[in-house]
Amino acid sequence: MDKPTHINCLRFLVTEDHDFQRATMIRMLEGLGAQTVYAAADGRAALGILQDPSRPVDIIISDIEMPSMDGMEFVRHLAETGSRISIILVSALEPALLDSVATMSEVYGINLLGVVEKPLTPAKLLPLLGSYMPPAEPRPGNRTSGLTFTPDDVVQGMQNNEFEPFFQPKIDLATGQIKGAEALARWRHAKLGIVTPYAFIKPLEDNGLINELTWIILEKAAVLCQNWRATGVDATVSVNLSAKSLGDVTIADRATQIVCDQGVKPSHFVLEVTESAAATQDGNALETLARLRMKGFGLSIDDYGTGYSSMQQLSRIAFTELKIDQSFVIDAAKHESSRVILESSLEMARKLHITSVAEGIETEADFELLRQLRCDLAQGYFIARPMERTDYLKWARDYRAHETVAKV
């Protein structure tokens, strides 16, 4: 087996209470070319090493069952320090329990390379080391995390026409065809570059201004949709609708007007509402959803699996699409627990006779799994990231050209 060339540059910390196993792991790493390997007999000793600036560590390989501080407590303390070090957990626990430890680590925000069953072998270790990436530096053009804006800032940006949708394709898993694209709001900020939605959706929602953004995104999405249609492309555009908008019974008419003004029809659009909004008991919201559907808009249940709704609640509204939340899709091929949720969500979509979409497909393994589970549509970085309009159109043209070549 080839050794990744970078192993000799990486600094390891092995945390294992069992002397013989610890020595074996250290020997294995050294055999693979590692030059720097620190060792600790439990989580507490490991934290001591990590606090020592003279002993920097890139990857921790830790046992889960250890006396005094076990691997789970160790992960929690690591998360509390905001550490971005990568970690590989090793254990003799049963696979289902390893899955829940992996989920816990991810929820804690730990950079987990993987969880492996004992004994650790080079064959298990090397693919995980191959997936190691140094902690990312914040990118200057995309400095959006932690940013908050006042509603006035955002309104000013909207008046300056600085908001636009980026587009991310949705692909038919059975045929590979492009079936549509989701429009995702972006702020082309004069000083900060491209700002992503988490920084501006909430101030708009909290101040009753979110509809203004919806209209901008819908109108620009309608322009793109009209361009597609003019060239014979039969695909839909999905637009996100805030839960806060649903109480306004006038929005269905306004949305219809906006798309018709661009020469396209409501049936060329899918409006996405989160599962928690979809399970609403509010009369106005139910009226809005029914009217949108009556006008011909497709309706999607977004982030499905996070809102604890019942099939009975969801079947009251004529939804056309079920969009499974990315938390169940990312790495599903590695987690039995995610697969169970995927299977039951897909079964529910089939029972309701609605289209199923998996978002957050980042790897070929997850793409293949969703195809085998007969999910209808796929969306995610594995296919393409959200792109500005011109890049999207170019991407779609190239994709279709390859598709045609592949079929000939």
- Binding residues (CB under 5 A) for Ca ion: these are 240, 272, 302-303
Nearest to 179 by CA among 226, 227, 228: 228
Q: Which does 242 bind (CB under 5 to 8 A by kind): ligand C2E, Ca ion, none?
A: ligand C2E
Residue nearer to Ca ion on the CB measure, 89 or 241? 241
Q: Which stretch binds ligand C2E (CB under 6 A): 76-84, 210-218, 278-286, 388-396?
A: 210-218
Do residues 28 and 54 touch, judged by C-beta distance below 8 A?
no
| Selected binder of ligand C2E within 105, 300, 320, 326 (CB under 6 A) | 326
Distance CA 322, CA 326 (A): 12
| Selected binder of ligand C2E within 25, 59, 184, 396 (CB under 6 A) | 184
Helix residue spans in 89-240 (DSSP H): 95-107, 122-130, 151-159, 201-206, 210-230
Residue nearer to Ca ion on the CB measure, 240 or 345? 240
What does the buried/exposed string (b/e) look like for 369-385 if buried means 16 or more CB atoms within 10 Å of the residue's CB? bbeebebbbbbbebbbe
CB of 182 to Ca ion, least distance (A): 6
Q: 22: Cβ–Cβ under 8 A, 6 or more apart, which residues?
A: 14, 16, 39, 41
Residue nearest to ligand C2E (CB): 380
Residues 119 to 178: which contact ligand C2E by CB under 6 A?
A: 168
Q: Which does 33 bind (CB under 5 to 8 A by kind): ligand C2E, Ca ion, none?
A: none
Nearest to 278 by CA among 251, 257, 305, 250: 305
Nearest to 101 by CA among 305, 93, 61: 93
Q: In sequence order, what DSSP letters do the residues of 231-248 get, joined into one string?
A: TT---EEEEE--GGGTT-
Does position 380 bind ligand C2E by CB under 6 A?
yes
Residue nearer to Ca ion on the CB measure, 385 or 394? 385
Which amino acid is present at 133? Answer: M
Q: Which does 98 bind (CB under 5 to 8 A by kind): Ca ion, ligand C2E, none?
A: none
Residues that bind ligand C2E (CB under 6 A): 168, 184-185, 196-197, 201, 210, 213-214, 217, 240, 242, 272, 302-303, 326, 359-362, 380-381, 386
